[in-house]
Amino acid sequence: MNDARMMRLVEQAFDYRGHVTIERYDGSKLVGFIYDRGASHIEMFDEHATRRIVVALDDIANITLSGEDIAAKSQRGWERRRDRLESRDTSAWGDWEERPTLILVALPIELRGIAPALGSTVHGTSATGRVGGTRVVARAVGVGGGAAHVVAEEHPRFVISCGFAGALDGALAPGDLVLASSVRDESGDTVIARESVLDVARRTLTNKRVAEGELLCATRIAAKRDDKHALARPGRLAVDLESWAAARAAERARIPWLAIRVILDPLDIDLPTFAGEVRSDYGVSVLRHALRGPSAIVELARLSVRTAVALGSLRQAMQELVPVLGRVEAGEVRT
Q: The domain at 99-333 falls in which architecture?
A: 3-Layer(aba) Sandwich (3.40)
Tell me the residue type at 297: I
Topology of domain 3-64, CATH: SH3 type barrels. (2.30.30)
Please work out, in degrees rounded to the nearest 5, the angle formed at the alpha carbon of residue 173 by the alpha carbons of 126 and 131.
30
Residues of the chain with CATH 3.40.50.1580: 99-333
CA distance to 122, 248, 253, 259, per residue, from 140 (Å):
10, 17, 20, 15
Tell me the residue type at 147: A
pLDDT at 232 (0 to 100) = 94
Averaged over successive runs of 10 residues, the pLDDT of the chain (335 residues) comes to 77 81 90 83 79 86 79 50 42 62 91 90 89 87 78 91 95 96 90 93 88 92 91 95 90 92 93 66 64 76 88 93 77 45
pLDDT at 219 (0 to 100) = 81
pLDDT at 329 (0 to 100) = 58
pLDDT at 284 (0 to 100) = 62
Entry pTM: 0.69
Residues of the chain with CATH 2.30.30.100: 3-64
Tell me the residue type at 169: D
Q: How far apart are CA 31 and CA 36, in angstroms?
A: 15
> What is the SS3 string spanning the chain?
CCHHHHHHHHHHHHHCCCCEEEEECCCCEEEEEEEEECCCEEEEEECCCCCEEEEEHHHEEEEECCCCCHHHHHHHHHHHHHCCCCCCCCCCCCCHHHCCEEEEECCHHHHHHHHHHHCCCCECCEEEEEECCEEEEEEECCCCCCHHHHHHHHCCCEEEEEEEEEECCCCCCCCCEEEEEEEEECCCCEEECCHHHHHHHHHHCCCCCEEEEEEEECCCCCCCHHHHHHHCCCCEEEEECCHHHHHHHHHHCCCCEEEEEEEEECCCCCCCHHHHCCCCCCHHHHHHHHCCCHHHHHHHHHHHHHHHHHHHHHHHHHHHHHHHHCCEECCEECC
pLDDT at 335 (0 to 100) = 39
Output phi, psi for 278, to 5 deg: -80, 115
